[in-house]
Amino acid sequence: MKKLKGLLLAATVMLTANSLMAQTYSETALMFSRIKPAGSARILGMGGAQISLGGDYSSAFSNPAGLGMYNKSEFTISPGYLSVTNNGTYSAGSNFISGSNTETRTALNIPGLSLVFSQPQEGDGGFIHGSFGISMTRINDFNSNIHYRGTNTNSSLIDYFIDQANGATPDQFGSNGSMYNTVTELAYDNYIIGEASILDPSFPNDQYFTDFDRAINPAVIQDETIQTKGAQNQWNLSYGANFNDKFFFGAGLGIVSLNFQSHKVFSEQFTDQPISRYTLTEDLSIKGTGVNFTVGGIFRPVEGFQVGASIATPTRYNLNDNYSATLNSMWNNWDYYGDGTTMLNSESASTDVVSSGYNLTTPWKFSAGASYIFGKRGLVSVDVERLNYGGARYNSQTSGVSYNTDNDDIKATYTSVTNIRAGGELRAKAFRFRAGFNYMPDPYKQQQNGTSITRMAASAGVGYKGSKYFVDLAYINSWGSNTYRPYTVNSDSSPLLKYDQTVSNVVVTVGFNF
């Protein structure tokens, strides 16, 4: 007969309600809405400031009015190199052996591609000419590796399994039950948790126990690796018109392709316990397309000074995700029922591939900027961007499925922010020297686990402009902090990973005039 200590553990270590360990809808809404500065190497070298500048293919994405400043047709390609480093510390209170971990991931990509057709002509009403642009801009990159490892003496993911199972009868783990295709079902199928009636027929069968006995040895070695990859790329079909070299107006259609993939491997290792170790592997894939529309204008009241503004409608995504999980456990030849009928050594269980389709609508985006051009000597440019991350919304594509709870969570969690970008360019004949900075405030109403999720970036660049071609190089270094909990316990010693992320990005833009 099993000891009652496992059942008592379930009663004393209670967890708050939590979703599957895969990415939550609230988190993905922020991730897909929080767009980093994007564009050519020239623009990135100046911190991404471009709303009032014009004359660059990046205007097709940010403010199509800037295409009206073209007087030649142009083709560009922008290859890039990305390096993402996460350096974190995992801890869970004073009784926890914390560990620092550093992981780096690199990737080669093409964050920009464009073709601009300029159509010079004299027209009526002050119309001078216009330009039509087709461009691809990488607006988000999801490539990242995170790893942590430590010894936890306060809690285990098993506590999460028990909390989720309590109140559910064993039939709920069947194909028509509420626990079906959950990680808790996998724990049940691996005998990591079981109904209390196994201990004693008089115990309720909707309460659960575990053979992990903290009184024998509370130490649990926890290890997790999180790998993410993918990107958001936006194709723009945009047009900008020039009126008297003073007023520039433009509009554009944006088509966004989204591909996000996450692979998580979480394991726990035990000493002096019936179970030796188990590993939970989760895979999540989110893919889809979205559409938005941008309209903007630039005004040049006096020679050298320009102001601009643009409005981008929400992007409405049609998304599909696929989630699956597998749990493998290793036991020390454990007699589960105590009668020799079930000897546990190696167990395994998997969910089905769980698929769902839904729509995500990101917030409106309002941008404004000002630039001053010092003739042939250079320029300075500043942008501000306003959006409310709490305005993101989900809608179901399936009758009877509601995202109201997720939408309420988004509204309650996120707030409005003002992003700031500034930069300048110094010209020396055919050469260009650039520098910039951008600031993205914390999108949360309250700090997450005492950490501000602010992101900042500094950039520098050089360029050469010939009569038929140009080459620009930019280096962008961005940094910020974040937090992650593999699961949540109702105490101050919940396991917590705090990590700093540094992203180094090198982009080269090569352009040809024709």
Q: Taking residues 402-429, report their average pLDDT.
A: 96
Which amino acid is it at 185? E
Chain mean position to CA 70: 35
Contact 9, 214 (CB under 8 A): yes
Q: Average model confidence (pLDDT) for the chain?
A: 91
Q: Which pLDDT value is given to residue 92?
A: 72
Q: Which two tokens stand for residue 509?
A: 């833009």
Please list, residue by residue across 222-259, b when 16 or more beta carbons sit within 10 angstroms of its beta carbon and e when fewer do: bbbbbbbbbbbbbbbebbbbbbeeebbbbbbebebebe
Place of tokens 């980093």: 36
User: How many residues would you count in the chain?
Assistant: 514
pLDDT higher for 276 or 126?
276
Contact 345, 86 (CB under 8 A): no
Q: Which pLDDT value is given to residue 346?
A: 97
What pLDDT digit, counting tens, does each position of 28-78 carry? Answer: 999 999 999 999 999 999 999 999 999 999 999 999 999 999 999 999 999
- Residue 11 phi/psi, 5° resolution? -80, -25
- Calpha distance 396→401 (Å, rounded): 6
Residues pairing with 506 in the sheet: 81, 475
Nearest C-alpha neighbor of 33 from the set 234, 251, 314: 314
Place of tokens 């404004």: 368
- Calpha distance 63→309 (Å, rounded): 7
- Residue 7 phi/psi, 5° resolution? -70, -40
Q: Which two tokens stand for residue 144?
A: 């990242």
Contact 443, 417 (CB under 8 A): yes
- Calpha distance 75→514 (Å, rounded): 8
pLDDT of 403 higher than 80: yes
User: What percent of the chain lies above the pLDDT cut of 70?
Assistant: 92
What pLDDT digit, counting tens, does each position of 485-498 carry? Answer: 898 765 566 788 88
What pLDDT digit, counting tens, does each position of 299-349 carry? Answer: 999 999 999 999 999 999 999 999 999 999 999 999 999 888 999 999 999
Q: Domains (ranges, CATH) in the chain?
A: 25-149+238-269+280-333+355-513 (2.40.160.60)
Nearest C-alpha neighbor of 499 from the set 514, 512, 513, 485: 485
Q: Which pLDDT value is given to residue 489?
A: 64
CA end-to-end distance (rounded Å), the chain: 84
- Calpha distance 306→292 (Å, rounded): 26
